[in-house]
Amino acid sequence: STTRINNYQAPEACDDVASQDGINTFDLNQFTTDIQTINGFSLPVTYYETYNDALLEQNELTSTYTNTTPYNQTIYTRVEDNNACYGIGEVILTINTLPELEEDDTILYCLNTFPSTITLDAGVLNGSPNDYTYNWSSGETTPNIAINTIGTYTVTVMNASGCTNSRAIIVEPSNIATFES
C-alpha cells in the first residue's frame, strides 16, 4: 500500500533577471534533505514531472530541473523503502516575478543651475511605489531622490516576495548653451 508523504513547498525562487519568463532551474538535491527531515526518514528521494511517471518509475528527473510551467509548477517525489514504494508526494515550485523597472537611462544636469537639484525616479512600472523598498547607491531609501552631482546612480528595488531588480541612471554634465553671432 502506498503511504502519502508530506507535500513539500520548495523555497520560493525569484525570476531570472536575464529572462524574466517564470522559468528557472532548480537543484533538486537541495530539496531532498528537507523532504527527508520533514518526513522523518533517510530513504532516497527521486523526482518526476508527473504523478504517473512517479507511479511507474519512468522519466526520472536529473538533479538539475528546469520548470516547464511558468511561475508555478508541481512535480512529484517518489520514496522507496527496500524496493517497495513508500510514498509519492508533491513538490510545489514557485517562481516570483521581479519588480518591473524602466530601462537604464542617461540624463543631463545643467552645471550652471547648481545647487538646484533634479529628481531621479526608481522607475517602477507595476503596482504602487509603496509596495516596494528602495536602496540607492547614494544610501537613500525612497522611490525618488534629489541630486545635484554628476555620476552614476543605481537603485535596487525589492518587492514583497523579496525579489530585486536594479536600474542605473547616469547623470552627465551640461553647461549653458552659448551662441555665436
List, for residues 112-128, the tens digit of each pLDDT value.
999 999 999 999 999 89
Rounded to whole angstroms, how far apart are CA atoms 60 and 62?
Answer: 7
74 Cβ contact partners less than 8 Å away, ≥ 6 residues apart = 90, 91, 92, 93
> Which H/E stretch holds residue 148?
none
Place of cell 521581479: 98
What's residue 1's pLDDT?
Answer: 42
List, for residues 12-21, the tens digit of each pLDDT value.
999 998 899 9
